[in-house]
Amino acid sequence: MNAVILLGAPGSGKGTQAARLAESLGMPHISTGAILRQAVTDGTELGVAARDIMAAGRLVSDEIVLGIVEARVSAHDCRRGFILDGYPRNRAQARALGEVLSRLGATEWIANIAVPAEELAARVRGRRGTDGRQDDSEEAFRRRLEVYESESLPLLDYYGDRASNVSGLGSRDEVFGRLCAALPFATAQLVTQ
């Protein structure tokens, strides 16, 4: 079982690339942000608890997101592997994920999509209005970036050599090519298809 973990700032292209990897590799794309947004839309208990936190650009509690991830990766369609987009986002989540993955006997493949802050802001600005994401407002985006820098960036130290750094600049195809090259199991699988 292969667990792909995509790290990167808000707007770096995690969702875009996770969807492409999922399609090419035939593995589910698991976005904690998308699952939470769906819960907000559906007005479930989870959605009600997460709505204001997300709109403000802050992190939902570790306990809640771990529950989501544990349930999702245990599903039958994840038996060959899965692509994680937006989890983990801090050291506590990374430790919890490590335990889940070792319990599942999964091999982890970690890639960090690196994009400069000016480009992140331009991308999210470009998306504003079309995606209807409340957290794309100037203020919420600024907060998401701050949270990323203080909480999620330290994951690069946490994972050290286990994480490959991939430039997220250039076209979507170029970034996808770099990611596949940084994920040896993915390259092998794509070649044999």
Among 12-20, 35-43, 168-176, 179-187, the segment contacting Mg ion (CB under 5 A): 12-20
Among 9-17, 43-51, 72-80, 174-182, the segment contacting Mg ion (CB under 5 A): 9-17
Q: Which residues pair with 31 in a beta bridge?
A: 85
Residue 12 interacting partner from Mg ion, ligand AP5, none (CB closer than 5 to 8 Å by kind) = ligand AP5
Give residues in contact with ligand AP5 (CB under 6 A): 8, 10-16, 31-33, 36, 53-54, 57-60, 65, 86-87, 89, 93, 123, 126-127, 135, 144, 171-172, 175
Name the residue among 158, 144, 159, 129 with its Cα closest to residue 60: 144
> Quick one: which of 4, 9, 13, 15 contacts Mg ion (CB under 5 A)?
15
* Sheet arrangement for strand 107-114: 29-31, 81-85, 2-8, 107-114, 163-167
Question: Which phi and psi (to 5°) does residue 61 adopt?
Answer: -60, 145
Q: Is 51 assigned a catalytic role? A: no
Q: How far apart are CA 48 and CA 36, in angstroms?
A: 10
Q: Is 89 assigned a catalytic role? A: yes
Contact residues for Mg ion (CB under 5 A)? 15
